[in-house]
Amino acid sequence: MKGRKITMTLFHEISATWLDSLALVLFVGGWLAYVVFAERHARNVPSLHNTMNAFRREWMVRMIARENRMVDVNIMRTQTRSSQFFASTTMFILGALIALTGYVQQTLDVVSGLPFTMKASARLIEIKIMLLVVVFTYAFFKFTWAIRQLGHASTMIGAAPPQPEDNPEQYAPVINRIARITSYAGSNFNHGLRAYYFGLAALGWFLHPVLMIGATAWVIYILYAREFKSDTLKAMIEDDDRPAL
């Protein structure tokens, strides 16, 4: 009885509507559903990630055949810097969000003054901020793991055997290992970027839960279009029709 009373008091303090609950469920469910769908759909049709995996393996075949591998080191350095940039940016965002929890009432006053906003309690604003904290914490872990994986791949490139005399494919186990590690790094980087996209959708909740629902659907559409229907993907998989030099 006492526990039920505490629960009812908590719900009263939050003062969340059914639209808020629906928006949160669709946000989390849409994110998880898209991740599962993208992984399964990519097994049957070309995707950016799988196409890049093929290029990563071809890259490692070329790397084995090169005597001077400074080109490969520079490529790894560029990819690592991209992950480092997002990891650092995510830390700034998390710091700002944590600081924002100390100004909930001020945030509530600012949001309430905006047009087309739905009235919310201070507790609900705290939940919205914590949702963003969870989203960007997830992104931070993905980006930092991608950095570590790229570092491991760089070490493996340095440990790769010297240029073979005949066929680089004789080092297929080495090539496949490094290609898989770079693929894992690319996958984690991709998941981190998705978190940024869904973080933008979660911002809509501060104004109105319907806006969050619409933004979530829009983000899922954008992610699908870029992963499976983009011009970049078409350029990667089309036949090479460049004139011979």
- The per-residue pLDDT for 116 is 65
Q: Is residue 90 part of a domain?
A: yes
Phi and psi (nearest 5°) for 80?
A: -65, -40
- The per-residue pLDDT for 7 is 42
- The per-residue pLDDT for 228 is 94
Tokens 């055949």 label which residue? Answer: 65
Q: Is the pLDDT of residue 237 over 70?
A: yes
Q: Is residue 141 part of a domain?
A: yes
What is this structure's pTM?
A: 0.86
Nearest to 131 by CA among 102, 107, 101: 101
Q: Is residue 243 part of a domain?
A: no
- Give CA–CA dist 147/136, Å, rounded: 16
Average pLDDT along the chain: 85
If you average pLDDT over residues 78-90, what whole number do you get? 94
Q: Is residue 35 part of a domain?
A: yes
User: What DSSP letter does each residue of 88-108 carry, written as one string?
Assistant: HHHHHHHHHHHHHGGGHHHHH
- Give CA–CA dist 70/76, Å, rounded: 10
- Give CA–CA dist 167/184, Å, rounded: 26
Least confident of 46-55, 106-115, 187-196, 231-240: 106-115
- For the segment 143-158, what is each residue's pLDDT rounded down to a tens digit? 999 999 999 999 998 8
- Considering its fold, how many domains does the chain have in total? 1
Calculate what percentage of the chain has a pLDDT beyond 70. Answer: 82
Q: Is the pLDDT of residue 84 over 60?
A: yes
Q: Is residue 11 part of a domain?
A: no
If you average pLDDT over residues 176-200, what whole number do you get? 94
Top-confidence residue, 217 or 205: 217
Q: How confident is the model at residue 13 (pLDDT cuts 50, 70, 90)?
A: low
What length is written for the chain? 245
Nearest to 86 by CA among 29, 153, 138: 138
- For the segment 95-141, what is each residue's pLDDT rounded down to a tens digit? 999 888 887 777 767 766 666 666 667 788 888 899 999 999 999 99
Residue type, 220: I
Q: Is residue 8 part of a domain?
A: no
Top-confidence residue, 120 or 206: 206
Instruction: Answer yes or no: are the C-beta atoms of 213 and 31 closer than 8 Å.
Output: no
- The per-residue pLDDT for 245 is 37
Sequence-separated (6 or more) residues with CB below 8 Å from residue 8: none
- The per-residue pLDDT for 238 is 80
Q: Is residue 10 part of a domain?
A: no
- CA dist list (Å): 58 to 2, 164, 179: 64, 16, 9
Q: Is residue 210 part of a domain?
A: yes
Instruction: State the residue range of the domain holding 128.
Output: 17-232
Top-confidence residue, 117 or 171: 171
A 10 A CB-CB count for 132 gives 21
Alpha-carbon torsion angle 206, 211, 212, 217, nearest 10: -160
- For the segment 35-75, what is each residue's pLDDT rounded down to a tens digit? 999 999 999 999 999 999 999 988 988 888 887 888 888 88
- Give CA–CA dist 46/28, Å, rounded: 26
Q: Is the pLDDT of residue 12 over 80?
A: no
If you average pLDDT over residues 167-195, what whole number do you get? 89
Top-confidence residue, 143 or 159: 143
